[in-house]
Amino acid sequence: MISACRRSGCIALLILLGGCSNGGGGTSAPAAGGSGGTPELDSGDEEASVEQDAADESDGDEAGDVEAGPCVQGDAGIPSPPTVEVPAGEFTMGCNDPIDTSCEVSESPLHKVTLSGFLVDKHEVTMAEYKACIDSCVCSEPAQAFDPKGSPSHPVVGVTLDQAGTYCTWIGRRLPTEAEWEKAARGTDGRIYPWGNTAPACDQAAFLGCAYGGKTGVTFPVGTFSPKGDSPYGAQDMAGNVWEWVTDWYGPYDGDASVDPEGPSKGTSRLWRGGGYLHDATWLRTSARFPNNAASYHALGFRCVKSL
């Protein structure tokens, strides 16, 4: 059991085993819905997440089983997804108490962080982009909801931290630290959401109740909400659509100013950021942190960064 505490008290997070693929490790996953605290697992959300094809008319092809074939070694097919620049400098990390009424203890205290400049993927890694890595004999297939034929422009999900890291290395990039992810999402003014401080709407982000192709409980093609949902730097879907991996182990903030922090050197839980299509607006806040020891999850994807 992991505990997540609000100022008004503590809410226990019940991690249900068997909710997602573990690749040999322990399993846990955030649940669909929920209002603050920690998400709870909905036994029906896995079925909803694999129905991308029925909702995705804009992607063209009808969904079907992915045809297996021999991979082809070589780097000719390495994609170069678009990036946006996050300049070097200081930003405010953590929950902005004066304007955010949903602060969790794990998001406090508000503190200053200075980062070197970096490039961040403009959008979450798509199924088509990830398939190119598989086809080049570098990446292995995700455990869940992988349909690059039917939903090529949707974010890839069901990847482990190692699988995500392998892909990023293949394209000459790496996974972001938690601090890099948060700065890319909120900029330097301490805003609650990537677009500002107003509560999310379904024309800004994919979260609980938002429909694509007449269906709720499905991912959206990357960039659907641009530019209304973009971060100050132009990064898309930093709030909602799918959760995203960062490299840090989970640990409490100490409140001290820091430079290019990488989180604790060890721990028991990794961190997911950004919320997703199965969860409410509380988890779309740029400061929201979800510690989890699941190896993969059908609503969890990633994006890459590159140091400047």
Q: Cα separation of 115 and 126, whole Å?
A: 27
**Assigned domain for 292 exists:** yes
**Assigned domain for 40 exists:** no
DSSP state of 282: G
Residues 175, 245: contact at Cβ < 8 Å? yes
Residue owning tokens 């199965």:
278
Tens-digit pLDDT profile for residues 191-244: 999 999 999 999 999 999 999 999 999 999 999 999 999 999 999 999 999 999
Chain centroid to Cα 235, Å, comes to 12
**Assigned domain for 2 exists:** no
251 pLDDT above the threshold of 60: yes
Tens-digit pLDDT profile for residues 69-112: 567 776 657 889 999 999 999 999 999 999 999 999 999 999 99
pLDDT of residue 107: 97
**Assigned domain for 306 exists:** yes
Report phi then psi at 270, rounded to 5: -90, 175
**Assigned domain for 29 exists:** no
Tally of domains within the chain:
1
Residue owning tokens 């896995």:
46
pLDDT of residue 54: 39
pLDDT of residue 294: 94
**Assigned domain for 10 exists:** no
Q: What is the CATH number of the domain that holds 272?
A: 3.90.1580.10
Tell which residue, 126, 165, 172, 155, has the closest CA to residue 247. Answer: 165
pLDDT of residue 139: 97
Point out the least confidently predicted range of 25-34, 107-116, 168-177, 224-233. 25-34
Residue 89 structural domain: 46-61+71-308
pLDDT of residue 52: 41
**What b/e readout covers 5-22, taking b as 16+ CB neighbours within 10 angstroms?**
eeeeeeeebebeeebbbb
**Assigned domain for 199 exists:** yes
Q: Cα separation of 31 and 156, whole Å?
A: 19
**Assigned domain for 16 exists:** no
143 pLDDT above the threshold of 60: yes
pLDDT of residue 72: 72
pLDDT of residue 7: 35
